[in-house]
Amino acid sequence: MDDKEDLRLEIPSYAFIALARRGMEKISLDQCFLKNCDNQDSNLLEPFKKEIQEDEKKYIKKIHIKCKKCNRVFILKLETLKNVAKSTKNKEEDSLSMGLVHALDENGKNLGHIGYF
Ligand SMILES: [Zn+2]
């Protein structure tokens, strides 16, 4: 079983940032979001753990990622609002619904809102 490759598939390739007057900017999620690290090489990013939280309104997926460049861990928090998602529960769900991406540090401290996926 190759769990690590599966975890990679759980992460959207891109997020979209809303710009005030210029529409949306597309950014890659294959990068380290920790301070003082400029790693943008997906080969140096190793997702190793997934957490799911779900309540009536939201579906939250947290992917823990080890950065092999700065040797630290960060968390991508992917939050989907259920009233936006209209599809049935299947694998297509992520692509059909609007989600929010946040980056957290290893201790769960919020590093900021990245964008939408
Ligand atoms: Zn890093």
Q: What digits encode the pLDDT tens for the residues 39-94?
A: 999 999 999 999 999 998 899 999 999 999 999 999 999 999 886 445 555 544 44
Model confidence at 24, in pLDDT bands (50, 70, 90)? confident
pTM, 2 dp: 0.81
Cβ contacts of 23 within 8 Å, gap of 6 or more: none
Count of domains forming the chain:
1
Dihedrals φ, ψ of 103, to 5°?
-110, 135
Q: Please, are residues 102 and 110 in contact by the beta-carbon 8 Å criterion?
A: yes
Q: How much distance in Å is there from the Cα of 27 to the middle of ligand 1? A: 17
Q: How much distance in Å is there from the Cα of 85 to the middle of ligand 1? A: 32
Dihedrals φ, ψ of 5, to 5°?
-65, -35
CA distances from 74 to 10, 63, 68, 93, 101 (A): 15, 8, 11, 25, 13
Of these ranges, 3-17, 19-33, 62-76, the one predicted with the greatest mean pLDDT is: 62-76
Q: How much distance in Å is there from the Cα of 36 to the middle of ligand 1? A: 8
Q: How much distance in Å is there from the Cα of 87 to the middle of ligand 1? A: 35
Domain hosting residue 76, numbered range: 3-116
Q: Which residues of 59-86 are buried (b: 16+ CB within 10 A; e: fewer)?
A: bbbbbbbbbeebebbbbbbbebeeeebe
C-alpha closest to that of 57 among 93, 81, 86? 81
Mean pLDDT for the stretch of residues 103-111: 95
